[in-house]
Amino acid sequence: MTAPLVIIHGWTYTIKPWDKTVAILKEMGVEVHQLRVPGLTQPSDAVWTIDAYVAWLDQELQAIPNPIVLGHSNGGRIAMHYLAQHPNRFKKLILLNSAGVAISSTSQSLKKTAVKASAKILKPLKYIPGVRRVVYRALGSDYGRAPKNMQATLNNMLAADKDFSPRMIATPTIMLWGESDNVTSLAIGKKIADELPTATLHTFPGWGHAPYLTHPEQVADAIMAAMQESA
C-alpha cells in the first residue's frame, strides 16, 4: 500500500478540473486528500504570505502522517517552502508544473498568465450543470479579475520566489513537467531540478500547464509511477 497522497492545487478557484484524475487514482487504490487553499478554493478575505500558507499547510497535515505531497503550480511553491521550514515532513514530494523560483524577469509575465491559465482551465466547466454559477463567480466577466486580496497575495508569492532556492530540501522529489507549459515553463522546471539535489525531472510532450484536465489518464499514471519510484 502506498502512502496517502495530498494534492495542493494551483492558482484556481475550483478543484473540479481534477475530478477525473483523482477518480482514476482512487480506482488504483490511492488514498487521495485534496486540500482547499485559502483565498482560492477556500473562502478568505485575507492577504496571504508564503509563511501564512506554510502555517496553514502544517495544520492541514497534522492528521495525515508521512504523506506523499503533490504540489501543482502555486501548490508546489507552498510545498517547497514548507519543506524548507519543516524538513523531512513528507515521505516524498511530487512537483507538477510547479512555481516557486524566479528566472530572469519572469515575475510580471507569470502574474499576467496565472489568471489567464485559470480562465482556460475553468471556461469549459461553465457548461456543466451545477458548476456554472461558481465558475462565473471565479472568472468574473472578463476572465481576468482576481479579488484585491488575491492580487496582493499573488504579489507576495512572486516576491517570495526572488530569494528562494530549493537547495536545502532533502526530501526525495519527483518532478512532472509539461513540455508545452507556457505558465510555469520547462526552464523553471530545469532550474528547480538543477538546484534540488534530491530531484528527478520527467518531461511530457503535449502537456500544458493543466494536464490533469487535458490528459487525466496520463497524469494519473505518471503520479502513480512517481509515488512508486525509488528514492
Contacts of 160 (CB under 8 A, 6+ apart): 49, 50, 77, 81
Burial class (CB in 10 A: 0-12, 13-18, 19+), 86: middle
CATH at residue 183:
3.40.50.1820
The answer on pLDDT for 60 being more than 70 is yes
pTM of the model: 0.84
Number of folded domains that form the chain: 1
Which residues constitute the domain of residue 75? 5-228
107 phi and psi angles, rounded to 5 deg? -55, -50
The answer on pLDDT for 34 being more than 70 is yes
Identify the residue with better confidence: 230 or 165: 165
50: left (phi over 0), alpha (psi -120 to 50) or beta: alpha
Cα separation of 113 and 118, whole Å? 9
Are the C-beta atoms of residues 186 and 177 closer than 8 Å to each other? yes
127 phi and psi angles, rounded to 5 deg? -90, -5
N- to C-terminal Cα separation, the chain: 17
What pLDDT, in 10s, does the model give residues 187-200? 999 999 999 999 99
